[in-house]
Structure 1
Amino acid sequence: MSTSPLVSLLPQLASGAAHTHALGFEFDRLEGDRVRIRVPWREDLVGDPNTGVLAGGLVTALLDHVGGLAVWIALDRFEPIATLDLRVDYMRAAEPRRDLIAEARCYRLTRSIAFVRAWAFENEPDDPVAAAQATYVLSARGAREADKARAAETAR
């Protein structure tokens, strides 16, 4: 596991924003380049009171947020990013009264865009409630820093 200072910030980055705190997001773990966060089941987060299943909008917010965390891990630093595109495929209803876990991995970084895949599930990522494909815009400063890092690496 990385010893980057960013790793120690992951719990705060996972739940420190007003909306992520209100939704109860919690950092779960980092395994290599895969980040996991969890949202504990709460009655006020249910989309359909008859089923007890968490709301679809919560799933989308969870996938978008874990995707951003994966970008920061790939960059190995915190910098402003913005979601450019997010596609979520809902594969099944979440299980009633169960916590939901989301895992994401940034699989490609360019000068200005990060590409991420993410999954939401209760137990195992191979049985997802939903899967996401997302792109995030990197800040201009971040793109310049990435260019400098690539130039330094090439010079070695």
Structure 2
Amino acid sequence: MGEERLKRARQFIEAIPHAQALEMRFEALGEGTAELSMPWRAELVGDPRSGVIHGGAVSALMDTCCGAAVMSHPEAPAGTATLDLRIDYMRAATPRQRITAKAEVYHITRTVAFLRATAHDEEAGLPVATATGAFTIERPKGGAQ
């Protein structure tokens, strides 16, 4: 993967305030793929009785991971935005465990990238959530690809 594309994708995601607030970190970045994680934190809990992280935090992680996958695609978009993101929650995340999202671009057109993603906690087996999405492709100015 081109180092410039990798650098641009990292800078794009690291500049997003909510990614910083959720303490997201890159685990891996490839050509049209990304893996990001975030820690469990008490202030992200949606149900104080169970200690389960709020689905909105999981959603933000998956959305950001998909954006990183688009930015790292070999066609090197200049930017991206979410058009559509469907998330299916499969089970509650295990309290006090890091959640990791993995996303891949499985199809890309001139203006839209289509993605699949999963989010897992540290338990083996069924994912916490799965997602499919469509993201804009913003091409670099001047027609360069």
CA contact (8 A) 1:86 1:133 kept: yes
Q: Distance in 2 between matches of 1:20 and 1:111?
A: 27
Q: Distance in 1 between matches of 2:105 and 2:123?
A: 19
Kindly state the Cα deviation for residue 134 of structure 1 after the two structures are TM-superposed.
0.2
Kindly state the Cα deviation for residue 133 of structure 1 after the two structures are TM-superposed.
0.2
* Structure 2, gaps ≥5 residues long: none
Q: Counterpart in 2 of 1:54?
A: 53
Structure scoring higher RCO (CA < 8 A, sep ≥ 6) equals 2
CA contact (8 A) 1:15 1:27 kept: no
Task: Normalising by structure 1, report the TM-score.
Answer: 0.81
CA contact (8 A) 1:120 1:130 kept: yes
Q: Which has the higher helix share?
A: 1
- Name the aligned partner's letter for residue 113 of structure 2: A
CA contact (8 A) 2:115 2:133 kept: yes
2:40 partner SS: coil
Please give the residue correspondences for 1:2-151 in structure 2 after superposition, counting only pairs within 5 Å.
2-30=1-29, 33-123=32-122, 127-139=126-138, 141-142=139-140, 145=143
Task: Normalising by structure 2, report the TM-score.
Answer: 0.87
CA contact (8 A) 1:103 1:118 kept: yes
- Name the aligned partner's letter for residue 63 of structure 1: M
**How well do the aligned residues superpose, as a CA RMSD in angstroms?**
2.4
Q: Distance in 1 between matches of 2:95 and 2:2?
A: 37
2:73 partner SS: helix
Distance change in 2, residues 1:143/1:118 (3 Å): farther
Q: Distance in 2 between matches of 1:40 and 1:14?
A: 17
Kindly state the Cα deviation for residue 62 of structure 1 after the two structures are TM-superposed.
0.7
Larger mean CA deviation between 92-101 and 67-76 belongs to 67-76
Kindly state the Cα deviation for residue 33 of structure 1 after the two structures are TM-superposed.
4.0
Indicate the structure (1 or 2) with the bigger Cα radius of gyration.
1
CA contact (8 A) 1:112 1:137 kept: yes
CA contact (8 A) 1:15 1:21 kept: yes
**% identical aligned pairs:** 38
Kindly state the Cα deviation for residue 137 of structure 1 after the two structures are TM-superposed.
1.5
- Name the aligned partner's letter for residue 71 of structure 1: V
Q: Distance in 1 between matches of 2:122 and 2:6?
A: 24
